[in-house]
């Protein structure tokens, strides 16, 4: 009798459990669906967009290029025609139109290298950065001021006047050296003949000394 | 926010430790609910005990409903969960072999180790068979390799490959489960009871 009673209760319990399961599963079907965003949330994107961390100065890029730093790739987001006319050394060309293509993804969506976007100024590069950041790609940077700034600061640095502080002069020297690395010639840095003449004279003396030394060694 | 480890809410170093803790708990529950008896598992095929069917079906449904609710509420990103890759024919052939072993031996690999732990002799033989099988597989690997690596379909799920609505699928799946439980109960009442 008691057994039958428990069996009944058990059966009732199972029915309740089955009902709960059906209600929960049905709830999933009936719940209003919402579109889920791929990538990061709008709040996060805004926080990233406000932050100036993404900008990298032309001086830093010049330093990295001169030291042959292998940790970054330069991505030119301008049109192909402009890229062919002039671009930074070792840059690859991914025009803004093609930024979402599958083949671009291989360069942009990786965490091996820093990706540095640049365009003529930083507007297009910022757009590219925004798209890629939205897709949650990592290690994205933007060249501050783009190629215009590159020309103004590295290729053709403004010469400081004499009353400017020492830092300005040091910066000018560094930038001048960098621009020489990238192929700019300065008249005052071109070596002249008199230097060579002074070099040849001591060489002759050395050869004479060497002969004497050879004789001494024989003894 | 979730899954916890891929999103670095728990450091990745804890992975194995958590796995060991879950494994011990799983083994304990298996043993405590009598799954280390081969008669209990064989009961599914002879129709006198459907505990195994009920337990694993319930586990699957409860977890899938819970996961989808957590996904809906934003606690978990279901696309980040690991999906085991599908090698179609390897899975079919392996499934058949495992099924035959399941019926013949009355253990699944997990419960056989539980039974070894409590000293059941048939489980020792069964685990010996597993090791023999591993040895044979390794020796014949060159012959089997095209099947083992072939027919690769990627990390797919039923929902991807048939383009089903996951919510309806879960709903229908839970109805099927409840019907299966009811039918199993009816079968069990008709079959002669076995005491073990």
Q: For chain A, 219 residues long, give each residue's pLDDT as a single digit of tens.
A: 566 766 766 678 888 888 999 999 999 888 888 777 667 888 888 888 898 888 999 999 999 999 988 888 999 999 999 999 988 888 899 998 988 888 888 888 888 889 999 999 888 999 999 999 888 888 899 999 999 999 999 888 888 888 889 999 999 999 998 988 888 888 877 766 555 555 545 444 443 444 444 444 444
Q: What is the pLDDT of residue B46?
A: 86
Give the pLDDT confidence score for residue A199 in this predicted structure.
52
Same domain, B97 and B127: yes
Q: In terms of domains, do B25 and B67 share one?
A: yes
Q: Considering chain B, what percentage of its residues have pLDDT values greater than 90?
A: 38
B69 CA: distance to closest CA in chain A (Å): 7
**Residue B115 buriedness (CB in 10 A; 0-12 / 13-18 / 19+):** buried
Q: Strands (DSSP E) along A16-98, which ranges?
A: 55-56, 72-76, 92-93
Both B62 and B99 in one domain: the answer is no
**Residues B79, B168 within the same domain:** yes
Distance from the first to the final alpha carbon of chain A: 128
CA-nearest of A133, A129, A125, A154 to A60 is A154
Mutation target among A8, A13, A21, A135 for the B interface, most CBs of B within 10 A: A21
Residue of chain B whose alpha carbon sits nearest to that of A18: B178
Query: How many domains does chain B contain in total?
Result: 2
Q: Is B180's pLDDT higher than 60? A: yes
What per-residue confidence (pLDDT) applies to A122?
85
Q: Is the CB of residue A31 less than 8 Å away from at least one CB of chain B?
A: yes
Of B195, B194, B27, the closest CA to residue B108 belongs to B27
Instruction: Count the alpha carbons within 13 Å of A88 in the hemisphere toward its beta carbon.
Output: 28
Q: What is the mean pLDDT of chain B?
A: 89
Same domain, B145 and B72: no
Query: How far apart are the C-alpha atoms of A86 and A147, rounded to whole Å?
Result: 9
Selected for mutation to probe chain B from A24, A27, A34, A35 (highest B CB count within 10 Å) is: A24
Residue pairs between chains A and B whose CB atoms are closer than 8 Å: 38
Under an 8 A CB cutoff, do B178 and A21 touch? yes
Asked if A25 and B173 come within 8 Å (Cβ–Cβ), the reply is yes
Do the chains contact at B178 and A31, CB–CB below 8 Å? Answer: no
The predicted model scores a pTM of 0.62
Candidates A4, A19, A25, A44: best to mutate against B (most CBs of B within 10 A) is A25
- Of the CA atoms within 13 Å of residue A190, those in its CB half-sphere come to 6
* Mean pLDDT for the stretch of residues B110-134: 92
* B77 and B91 fall within a common domain: no
Distance CA B149, CA A215 (A): 78
Cis peptide leading into residue A39 (ω within 30°): no
Query: Residue B174 and residue A14: Cβ atoms within 8 Å?
Result: no
Tell me how close the Cα of A137 comes to any Cα of chain B, in angstroms.
15
Residues B114 and B17 in one domain: no
pLDDT (tens digit per residue) in B16-65: 999 999 999 999 988 888 888 888 888 888 888 888 888 889 999 999 99
Are β-strands B152-154 and B86-87 bridged in parallel, bridged antiparallel, or unpaired?
antiparallel
Banded model confidence at residue B77, pLDDT cuts 50, 70, 90: confident
Distance from CA of B35 to the nearest CA of A (A): 21
Residues B122, B29: one domain? no
Q: Cα(A197)–Cα(A202) distance, rounded to whole angstroms?
A: 9
CA distance A205 to B60: 93
d(CA A45, nearest CA chain B) in Å: 16
Question: Do B176 and B119 reside in the same domain of the chain?
Answer: no
Distance from CA of B74 to the nearest CA of A (A): 10
**In this structure, are B76 and B173 located in the same domain?**
yes
Q: Which domain, by its residues, includes B187?
A: 1-83+162-196
Q: State the Cα–Cα distance between residues B170 and B78, nearest whole angstrom.
A: 14
pLDDT confidence of residue A212: 42
Same domain, B111 and B175: no
Return the pLDDT at A1.
56
Chain A contact set for B174 (CB, 8 A): 21-22, 24-25
Alpha carbon distance A181, A159 (integer Å): 18
Indicate if B70 and B101 belong to the same structural domain: no
Alpha-carbon dihedral A81, A85, A91, A97, rounded to 10 degrees: -20
Residues linked to residue A141 through DSSP beta bridges, in sequence order: A116
Query: Which chain A residues contact residue B72 at CB under 8 A?
Result: 28, 31
Q: In this complex, is the C-beta atom of B75 within 8 Å of any C-beta atom belonging to chain A? A: no
**CA B117 – CA A12 distance, rounded (Å):** 37
């Amino acid at each position: 009798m008691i057994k039958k009673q428990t069996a009944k209760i058990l059966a009732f319990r199972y029915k309740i459990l089955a009902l709960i399961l059906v209600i929960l599963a049905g709830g999933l079907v009936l719940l209003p669906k919402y579109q889920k965003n791929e990538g990061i949330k709008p709040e996060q994107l805004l926080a990233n967009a406000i932050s100036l961390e993404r900008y990298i100065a032309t001086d830093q890029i010049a330093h990295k290029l001169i030291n042959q730093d292998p940790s970054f790739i330069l991505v030119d987001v301008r049109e192909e025609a402009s890229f062919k006319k002039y671009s930074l050394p070792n840059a690859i060309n991914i025009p803004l139109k093609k930024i979402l293509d599958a083949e671009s993804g291989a360069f942009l969506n990786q965490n091996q290298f820093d990706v540095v976007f640049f365009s003529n100024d930083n507007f297009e590069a910022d757009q590219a950065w925004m798209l890629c950041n939205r897709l949650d790609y990592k290690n994205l940077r933007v060249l501050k001021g783009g190629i215009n700034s590159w020309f103004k600061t590295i290729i053709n640095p403004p010469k400081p006047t004499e009353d400017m502080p020492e830092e300005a002069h040091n910066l000018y020297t560094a930038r001048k050296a960098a621009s020489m690395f990238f192929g700019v010639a300065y008249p005052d840095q071109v070596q002249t003949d008199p230097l060579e003449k002074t070099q040849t004279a001591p060489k002759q003396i050395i050869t004479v000394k060497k002969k004497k030394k050879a004789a001494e060694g024989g003894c | 926010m979730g899954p916890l480890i891929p999103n670095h809410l728990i450091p990745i170093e804890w992975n194995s430790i958590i796995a060991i803790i879950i494994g011990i708990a799983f083994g304990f529950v298996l043993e405590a609910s009598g799954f280390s008896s081969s008669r209990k598992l064989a009961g599914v095929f002879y129709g006198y005990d459907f505990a195994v069917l009920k337990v694993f079906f319930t586990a699957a449904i409860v977890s899938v409903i819970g996961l989808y609710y957590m996904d809906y509420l934003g606690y978990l990103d279901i696309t980040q969960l690991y999906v085991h890759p599908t090698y179609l024919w390897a899975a079919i052939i392996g499934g058949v072999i495992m099924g035959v072993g399941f019926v013949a031996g009355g253990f699944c690999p997990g419960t056989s180790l539980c039974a070894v732990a409590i000293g059941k002799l048939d489980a020792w033989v069964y685990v010996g068979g597993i090791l023999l099988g591993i040895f044979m597989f390794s020796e014949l690997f060159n012959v089997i390799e095209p099947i083992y690596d072939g027919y690769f379909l990627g990390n797919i799920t039923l929902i991807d490959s048939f383009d089903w609505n996951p919510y309806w699928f879960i709903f229908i799946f839970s109805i099927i489960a409840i019907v299966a439980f009811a039918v199993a109960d009816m079968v069990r009442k008709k079959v002669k009871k076995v005491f073990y």
